[in-house]
Amino acid sequence: MQGLKVLVTGGCGFIGSHLVDALLREGFIVRVVDDLSSGSRVNVTQWEDHARFELVVGDLKSPAVAEQGVEGVDLVFHLAANPDVRLGMIDPSAHFDENLLVTFNVLEAMRKSEGAGRVVFASTSTVYGEASVFPTPEAYGPLLPISVYGGAKLGCEGLISSYCHTFGFEGVLLRFANIVGPRAGHGVIVDFVRKLRENPKMLEVLGDGTQCKSYLHVSDLVSAFFVVMKSFGKSGRVEAYNVGTSDKVSVVRIAEIVCEELGLAKPRFRFSDSAGGGRGWKGDVKTMLLSVDKLCGLGWKPRLNSEEAVRQSCRELLGSIKVVG
């Protein structure tokens, strides 16, 4: 696929910029569309003068921007979204506009284009809601999300499936576990590090700390993108793949790892159960472990397990900076 022209929506964001790095190193021609609302231009600065890279700063809620982004590309990696799950409690319309509406505009631009008939979509484990089967396979159902974010992502999956079957597209839906690594701007590791820098003796933990989920390093996720690219033309119109590790780690254990990496004697943990049921917030799924057998069947395998991914990500975030307490 070297020399293929691709679009990465949200390519200045945490995950998108890592994918852009890998695509350019592998010889792809890459266009990024990003409104820089949650991503940063700094993440792609190294490529801005590269002959195979183009950055379009624009809002995909505009159909014209979507059409500009899709024009002339062969494959779309659709990562643009509002990534803040908790925002759904405050402003549900943000997930509608920045997930569902943006996805519709991208699909419509693809429909009107001459060559963009393949899409890889960044979905989420939250589409499963509170699953009763672990590890949770792609065929699990019914899919009943408990967060507005998860509901919006499931709606995007439905739109993509409908366009694949109606207009002859091919689609891949990647349902991510919790992704960690360098350039992450939010999430439990970032949250804990910020809090411990402010107060090394006490750490507020949202929920009761027993929440237990799978964490995947962003480098392992990027390798999954490359594996599913090779599946186009070999499977059906649309395929869903879970992307995660075969294990999980609790929030309390993550807190302990962060403290270890900061060189802190264990601070006092203060648990905040304001959402009820031990959740970190309304819509927080307490347990998540995905079956990744389907993706592993394509030849993919994560390099790090959940604890290793958390520890490496913490080190990448901290660098050589230590908090003294």
Q: Is the dihedral of CA 241, 245, 250, 256 positive or negative?
A: negative
pLDDT of 91 reads 80
Quick one: pLDDT at residue 322?
Answer: 41
Domain 5-179+215-243, CATH class in plain words: alpha beta
Report residue 261 as tokens: 């990496």
Task: Give yes or no for a contact between 52 and 30, defined as CB atoms under 8 angstroms apart.
Answer: yes
Edge-to-edge strand ranges of the sheet holding 287-288:
249-250, 212-213, 287-288
Q: What's the confidence (pLDDT) of residue 131?
A: 98
What is d(CA 136, CA 248) in angstroms, rounded to the nearest whole number? Answer: 13
Domain boundaries, the chain: 5-179+215-243, 181-213+246-318
Neighbours of 296 (CB within 10 A): 15
Fold of 181-213+246-318: UDP-galactose 4-epimerase; domain 1 (3.90.25)
- In this chain, the answer to whether the domains covering 5-179+215-243 and 181-213+246-318 adopt an identical fold is no
Ordered mean pLDDT values, 10 residues apiece, the chain (325 residues): 90 98 97 96 97 98 98 97 70 88 98 94 98 98 96 97 96 98 94 95 95 98 97 88 98 97 92 88 93 98 98 88 38
As given in the structure block, the two tokens for residue 286 are 């307490």
Q: Is 193 left (phi over 0), alpha (psi -120 to 50) or beta?
A: alpha
pLDDT of residue 288: 98
Whole-number pLDDT of residue 321: 42
State the pairing for strand pair 5-9/29-34: parallel
pLDDT at 61: 97
| Residue bearing tokens 């519709």 | 104
Do 20 and 8 form a contact (C-beta atoms < 8 A)?
A: yes
Residue 87: the pLDDT is: 63
The Cα-based distances of 280 to 215, 237, 309 in angstroms read 16, 37, 21
Around 142, how many Cα atoms within 13 Å sit in the side-chain half-sphere? 4
